[in-house]
Amino acid sequence: MALLPILRFPDPRLKKVATPVVGIDDSIRKLVADMGETMYEASGIGLAATQVDIHKRVVVIDTSEERNQLRVFINPQLVRCEGLQTGEEGCLSVPGIYDKVERAERVTVNYLDLDGKAQSLTAEGLLAVCIQHEIDHLDGHVFVDHLSQLKQTRIKSKLAKQARVTA
Ligand code: NI
């Protein structure tokens, strides 16, 4: 396994739309293992392949307290969204920035597991938010896209300042 570098907003590569996985082979299994390791190392609860500059529809999520329930979603598709919830979101690609985003309260997602078997999951609360946030990444969207233009401009200048300080 290996840690993968995470792209930082506003890197234009975060806007690429990921393509579906056609066959689950060793390269996909290695990608999933590396993404899991990268997510845990960065203390994140979700990571989309887009964020590590691999533009395939692969997502890993772990919202468990114990950080030992890695969920893998290949070619995830939202087939049902119900209700609304608003919660504070952050993103490994937008370090140090948190803001409120409105999402569906409950979602049903169809996907393939690592064995290539079709699965369906209905989730609510934090897991539902996380699934929506990660599928957004696969479609080239970051959570700050949901915020006002003014907030987006402020976030870009704050991140640019951080980059200068750490450079
Ligand atoms: Ni994110």
Tokens of 72: 């893998």
Q: Is residue 117 part of a domain?
A: yes
Compute the distance from residue 15 Cα to the ligand 1 centre, in Å: 12
What are the start-end ranges of the H helices in 10-67? 26-41
Compute the distance from residue 120 Cα to the ligand 1 centre, in Å: 22
Neighbours of 70 (CB within 10 A): 16
Specify the residue for token string 């995470």: 6
The CATH number given to whatever domain includes residue 110 is: 3.90.45.10
Q: What are phi and psi of 85, to 5 degrees?
A: -145, 150
Q: Is residue 103 part of a domain?
A: yes
Average pLDDT, the chain: 96
Q: Is residue 96 part of a domain?
A: yes
Q: Is residue 5 part of a domain?
A: no
Query: Taking the complete model, does pTM exceed 0.75, yes or no?
Result: yes
Q: 120 by DSSP, 3-state: which?
A: strand
Catalytic member of 82, 88, 105, 134: 134
Specify the residue for token string 């792209």: 7
Residues 67-98: tens digit of each pLDDT: 999 999 999 999 999 999 999 999 999 999 99
To 5 degrees, how large is the angle CA 40–CA 62–CA 34? Answer: 45
- What is the domain count for the chain? 1
Is 134 known to be catalytic? yes
| Enclosing domain of residue 145 | 12-166
Q: Is residue 2 part of a domain?
A: no
